[in-house]
Amino acid sequence: MSDAIGVLERIAVWSPYFRVSTGPADDRWRPTADLADPATRDALVADTAARMDTDEPRVAASTLFFGYVARVWSVAIGSVVDSGRCIRLDPEQLLWRNDAGLHLHITEPGFGDDIVTEVLDRQIEPLVHAWRDVVAAGLLWGNAASALIGAGRVIGSDAQPLVDDLLSDPRLADTVDPATGRRRSCCLYYRTPTGGVCGDCVFPTPPDDRSKEMP
């Protein structure tokens, strides 16, 4: 068993978001690079909207994006905390499958570059650029920061220095108010039929004006 597979097996016990399947992949798995394709994006957003019972594509897209980056952050931060090295998350090698949400697979796991390169440069920034005509880029970066903080909390204090360092990246630095821990944008979950505001939301309570736009 490779060192990378051992890391993935150890971190998988922390929560489902830390789990990545490995080994030979059938044709249900596709490269995560495909998530930047508009047709792929729109089909996933439509499926998510149907499951969430919302007719707003931006709400579904925000939720889908949040869940995806939460998984990517979890794997990356978990591997660094566990081993000091980041699992390779190249968009052509990290695979996805839609099963009531995006699940991840790596055929031959290995270690890659630093976490900024693997996650922010290769995964999140291209996706923000490709999805920003559905959801505002500022909202998506807010989702990325919130998902990062959430992944760190699952791990605990060992992850905090890494999370703090990542939040200083210019792409994330202005997404969260350091004094309050609240986001400067809203993920829009309150606009779903059963949704409320999240604990770190810019809104303390759901806005009365449900047409309100966020940056």
pLDDT of amino acid 213: 44
DSSP 3-state assignment of 142?
helix
pLDDT of amino acid 178: 84
The alpha carbon of 54 is separated from its chain's Cα centroid by a whole number of angstroms, namely 21
pLDDT of amino acid 207: 74
Owner of token pair 């829009």: 188
Tokens read off for 45? 């957003």
| Digit-coded pLDDT (tens) for 46-101 | 999 999 999 999 999 999 999 999 999 999 999 999 999 999 999 999 999 998 88
Which residues are within 8 A (CB) of 99 and not within 5 positions of it... i.e. 6 or more apart? none
Between 39 and 186, the more confident residue is: 39
pLDDT of amino acid 124: 98
Domain ranges of the chain: 3-176
pLDDT of amino acid 215: 47
pLDDT band at 32 (very low <50, low <70, confident <90, very high): very high
| Spatial CA neighbour of 19 closest among 127, 106, 125 | 106
- Which amino acid belongs to residue 81? V
